Structure 1
Amino acid sequence: MQIIAYLYSDPLLESPPEQAVWGAEVDRVYQDLGGRQQWQQLLVDCQVQPVDYFLIRRLEELGDSLEEVSDRLTQIEEMGILIIATEQSYSSSHATDTEGTAIRANLFKLLAEINNSQCSRRIRQGHARNRLKAIPPPGKAPYGYRRGKDRYIIDRSTAPVVKDFFERFLIYGSLRGAVRYLEKKYSKKISVSTGRRWLTNPVYRGNLGYQNGEVISDTHSPIINREEAAQIDRLLRRNRRLPPRTASASRSLAGLVVCAECQSHTSVTSVTRHRQDKEYLYLRPINCPRRPKCRALSYETVLERIIQSICQQLPRAVAGLNSPNLDSVKQSLSNQITHKQDILTEVKSLTCRGVLDTETADLRAYKLRAEISQLQGQLATLPPVNLQALAQTVSISQFWRDLSESERRFYFREFLRQVEITRQEEDWQLQLVFIF
C-alpha cells in the first residue's frame, strides 16, 4: 500500500511545516513553497507508480483558486487514489450511491468554505507584499502624520503637538502630566491610554510595526530620535514598578516610601496653621493595620536622610555589581547590525546580477530588516552611560538639593525601587532598596 502526502505553504504568510508531521507511515512527502513544482512531480510519479492514499491538511492547499482546487481534486480521483483531508471532514472513497451523495454534499459545503478562505488569503497576500516593500499598513495615519504614496509623511501642522508631548514626558516622566499639558497648551484632549500608545508607537520613531509583531526600521522620517525613544522606554519600565498615579505626583517621595513591617505605602499630606502661609509636609501610612497607627513623619526630614544615604550607599552598591562590560555588549550588538546590513547590501547586488529573483530577494531583505530592528531594540534597552561614572556624579549631596521636586523625582526613580522605614520606640531608620 502506497501513501503519499502533499504540503503547500506561502512563505509570505507562514513558516513551512516540517515534513515529519505526517509520521512514518507516509511513503513520500511532496512540499511546495509558493510555487507548484513538487505538485507536477507528484502527478508524474503517480503515473509511474500506483498510489493508494493521498493525504493533505486542507483542500485549499491544492490551488490558489476554487477552480484550481476542483481540477486537482478531479485529477487525483481519476487516478483511483483515495483523498483524505486531515484537518477537514473530507475523504473520498469507493462508496455506495447514498454515501457518494453525502460525500458530494459535504464537498459542496467545503468548496464554499474554501472560496471564502481563498478570498481572505488573497487579501493577506496583498498586505504581505506591502510589508516586503515597507508600505504602511491599511488604515488612518497616526496623529502627526499623513499618508503619502508609499510611506508616512510628517504633518507639519500636528507633528509639533506630538513632539511637545514627548518632550514633556522626557522632562518630567509623567504620562498624565503630559496629557494635561497637551490639553492646556494646545486644547488637544487625549486619554491616558492614547498617550501611552503614542509613547510606544514605532511610527513616531521612524519605524513600521505590523500586525504580526515585526518592526521594520527607518521607513520614514521620525518625530523622535533613537536616544529619546530609548529614554522613553526606560521611563515607562520604571513607572510600571510604582503604585498608580505616583508617576505624576508633584512630590519626589510619592510612592517610594513604605513601612518595613506592614509594607503599607505612604501618602504625602500637607498641613497649614491658622493665618500662616507656611506649609508643613508629612508622610502618612495609607493602610497601616496597627492600633494606634504609625505616626506621620516629617517629609523634609525623611528627604534629607534619603539624600545622605544615597550619597553613602550608592557608590558602594554600584561597585559591588557583577555586570558585564557595557561597552563590549554594545560593540557586539553593533557588529551584528553591521554584518546584517552588509548582507542586505549583498542581496541587492545579487538581485541586480540576476542571481536572485525579485520575490526571493524581497523576502530575504524583509527578514534581514526585521532582524536588524530587533537588534537595534536590544541596543536601545542598554543604559546610555556607564553606571559607575554616573553614581560618582549623583553621590554629591548638593546635586540633589539643587534639583526641583520634579527633577529629584526623576533621578530618585532611576536608582530606587523603594525606601523602607523601620520604626523604633523613639526613632526610625531607613533602608534603600536599589533597582539593581
Structure 2
Amino acid sequence: MKIIAYSYVDLRCETVPNASLQGSFKGSAEEAAWWAIADRVYQDYAELDAATGAAANSRETRQPPGIAHRPQWQQLLQDCQQELPAAVLVRQLADLGDSVAEVGDRLAELEALHIPLRIAGADPQTPAPSPAELLQQFQTLQSAQHRQRIQQGHARNRIRAQPPPGKAPYGYRRGKDRYVLDRTTAPVVKDFFDHFLLYGSLRGSIRYLQQKYNKKISSSTGKRWLTSPVYRGDLEYHTGDIVPDTHPAILPRAEAAQVDRILRRNRKLPPRAASAPRSLSGLVTCGECQSALRVCSVTRPRQSRSYLYLRPAACPRAKKCGAIAYESVLHATFERICADLPRLVSSTPLPDVEQMQRAIAAQIHTRQTWLVQLPDLVQQGILDQQTADLRAYTLRTEIARLQTQIDQLPPANLRAIAQVISLPQFWLDLSESERRAYFREFLRQIVLEREGRSMAGKAGIFC
C-alpha cells in the first residue's frame, strides 16, 4: 500500500517544502528525509494577496478559480476512495486546519475512510494515535501558539518602548502609545511623594492621603509607589528591563534619588520604628542588657505635661534596667556626634565621588550618541528597522542602569556636610523630623552605657 503526504503552507510566513514530480526538494534535511518516504505529495497554500499570489500561481499546484479553499485535500480524499493508502503523513497537526473544529473535521474524514494519520518525527513503530488524541494534541499546540503570538506582540511593544499590557498605574491613563498624566489622580500621587520626602514616614504619608483625599491604600501599595519606575517617567517590564524617559514623570529624578536614600536607611530599622515620629526611635540599644529601647510617653495630669522616656523593650534581667529621659539621651547624642564625626571624616579615606560620577556620565553620553546615530544607519541601509529598534531598546536599558548607579552614589561634598553637622547649634535648630532624617543617614546605632544613675551615650557613626 502507498504512503501519501499532505502539507498546508503560508508563503508569507514559512518556506515551502517543494517536492516536484522530478524529485527535487527545497527544505531542511529532516523534511527531505520525511518527504522521501511518501509515494505522493499533496500541497495546499494559504490565501495570499496579489503580490505573493503570483508566485503561488506559478507552481505546479496552481488551481483554477472556483476550486475549494483546500483543493489538494479534496483531491487526496477522492484518490483515497479509489485506493486506500497505508497512512497519511503531515508535518504537523496545524496543516489540517486553522482551528480545532477544522482539524476535527479532517480527522473525521480520515477516520471514515479508516486511514491512519502519521506526524513527522513520530516513531513509525508506535501505533498511530486515535483522532481524539490527535485533536487533544492540536488543542494544546494551538494554545501554546496563541500564547507565543501574544508574547511576541508584547516583545514588539517592549522594543518600541510602549506600555506593558494591563491597567495604567494610578495617576496615569493610557494614551495612544504611552502613559499620559491623569489630571484628577496625579496630584494625589505627587502629594504623597512630597509628604514622604518631608517626613520620611510611609505610614504617615498613607494616613495623610486618607485624611486629605479620602484615598485608602495599603503599606505595600505605598511602598510600590515609592519604588515604581513608572512614576519616575520610566517603564519596567516583566523581564526586569527599564526603559527611561518614556512618559511624563510625577516624581523628578532628584527627588526619586532622595526617596531611595530614605528607603535604604529605613530598611535597617523595624517597620514601626521607621515610621515613628521621634528621631531616636529604632536607633538606641542598652549596653547592659542589649535590648532595644522604646520611646514611651508619660502624662502627669496635675502638671498637664508629657514626658518622654526610653525604656527597654525586652530586658532579660531579673532587675529590669530603668527608663532614661529622652532629652538627656538626645543631647548626649548631639555631643558625641560633634566630637567624633570630624575625627572620623578626617581619618577615613573617602571615595572620589566626583570622578565616579564623571566616569558613569561619560558612559551615558557615549550610549546617547549611539542612540542618535541609529536613524542614520537605517537610512543608509546598514541596519534594518527591526535591528535598529532592538539596539535602541538595549541602549535605553543600559542608560537607565547607569543612571541608577549615579543616583545611588553618596553626595560629592561629604566632607563639607560633615563640618556643618558637627556644630551643636545645627542640631538644636532642627525639627524632630529633620533630626530623624540626619540620624538615620549618619548613625548606625546608639549604645547607652550606664554608670549608676548617670549615663554616657556612645554612638556608632558611619558615612
Superposition TM-score tier, normalisation by shorter sequence: 0.7 to 0.9
- Kindly indicate whether residue 263 of structure 2 is the aligned counterpart of residue 280 of structure 1: no
1: CA distance, partners of 2:248 / 2:396: 17
2: CA distance, partners of 1:50 / 1:249: 74
- Kindly indicate whether residue 73 of structure 2 is the aligned counterpart of residue 46 of structure 1: no
**1:350 shift after superposition:** 0.5
In the alignment, what sits opposite 2:166?
Answer: 139
**1:47 shift after superposition:** 9.1
In the alignment, what sits opposite 1:429?
Answer: 456
Equivalent position amino acid for 1:250 in 2 = P
In the alignment, what sits opposite 2:284?
Answer: 257
The answer to whether the 8 Å contact 1:314/1:391 transfers is: yes
1: CA distance, partners of 2:94 / 2:231: 49
What are the within-5 Å matches in structure 2 for residues 159-308 of structure 1? 159-308=186-335
Aligned with 2:384 (options 318, 335, 357) = 357
Distance change >3 Å, CA 288–CA 343, structure 1 → 2 = same
Question: What SS does structure 1 have at the residue aligned with 2:307?
Answer: strand
Deviation track 1:77-135 (CA, whole Å, cap 9, x = no partner) reads xxxxxxxxxxxxx963341xxx2325998766544322211100000111111111111
The answer to whether the 8 Å contact 2:294/2:311 transfers is: yes
Equivalent position amino acid for 2:452 in 1 = E
**1:411 shift after superposition:** 1.0
1: CA distance, partners of 2:340 / 2:26: 76
Equivalent position amino acid for 2:457 in 1 = L
Question: What SS does structure 1 have at the residue aligned with 2:460?
Answer: strand
In the alignment, what sits opposite 2:41?
Answer: none
In the alignment, what sits opposite 2:7?
Answer: none
2: CA distance, partners of 1:234 / 1:391: 17
Distance change >3 Å, CA 272–CA 220, structure 1 → 2 = same
**1:296 shift after superposition:** 0.8
**1:162 shift after superposition:** 1.0
1: CA distance, partners of 2:273 / 2:267: 10
- Kindly indicate whether residue 354 of structure 2 is the aligned counterpart of residue 327 of structure 1: yes
2: CA distance, partners of 1:327 / 1:367: 27
Aligned with 1:415 (options 429, 442, 459) = 442
Deviation track 1:307-327 (CA, whole Å, cap 9, x = no partner) reads 010111112222333342101
2: CA distance, partners of 1:247 / 1:322: 30
Aligned with 2:373 (options 346, 349, 359) = 346
In the alignment, what sits opposite 1:92?
Answer: 122
1: CA distance, partners of 2:91 / 2:288: 73
Equivalent position amino acid for 2:282 in 1 = G
**1:367 shift after superposition:** 0.9
Distance change >3 Å, CA 187–CA 109, structure 1 → 2 = closer
Deviation track 1:20-58 (CA, whole Å, cap 9, x = no partner) reads xxxxxxxxxxxxxxx979x99x9667399989xxxxxxx
In the alignment, what sits opposite 2:414?
Answer: 387
The answer to whether the 8 Å contact 2:354/2:412 transfers is: no
**1:271 shift after superposition:** 2.2
Show structure 2 runs of 5+ residues with no match: 1-12, 19-24, 35-89, 96-119
Question: What SS does structure 2 have at the residue aligned with 1:417?
Answer: strand
1: CA distance, partners of 2:31 / 2:208: 77
Question: What SS does structure 2 have at the residue aligned with 1:101?
Answer: coil
2: CA distance, partners of 1:137 / 1:376: 22
Distance change >3 Å, CA 47–CA 302, structure 1 → 2 = closer
Show structure 1 runs of 5+ residues with no match: 1-34, 52-66, 73-89
Distance change >3 Å, CA 401–CA 48, structure 1 → 2 = closer
Deviation track 1:310-357 (CA, whole Å, cap 9, x = no partner) reads 111112222333342101111111011111111111222101222211
**1:274 shift after superposition:** 4.0
The answer to whether the 8 Å contact 2:162/2:178 transfers is: yes
1: CA distance, partners of 2:407 / 2:147: 37
**1:249 shift after superposition:** 1.4
Equivalent residue pairs, number: 366
Equivalent position amino acid for 1:372 in 2 = I
The answer to whether the 8 Å contact 1:92/1:103 transfers is: no
Equivalent position amino acid for 1:46 in 2 = A
Question: What SS does structure 2 have at the residue aligned with 1:245?
Answer: helix
The answer to whether the 8 Å contact 1:421/1:429 transfers is: yes
Distance change >3 Å, CA 69–CA 343, structure 1 → 2 = farther
**1:216 shift after superposition:** 0.5
Equivalent position amino acid for 1:310 in 2 = I
TM-score when scaled to structure 1? 0.78
Q: Which moved more, 1:412-421 or 1:384-393?
A: 384-393
Aligned with 2:148 (options 112, 121, 128) = 121
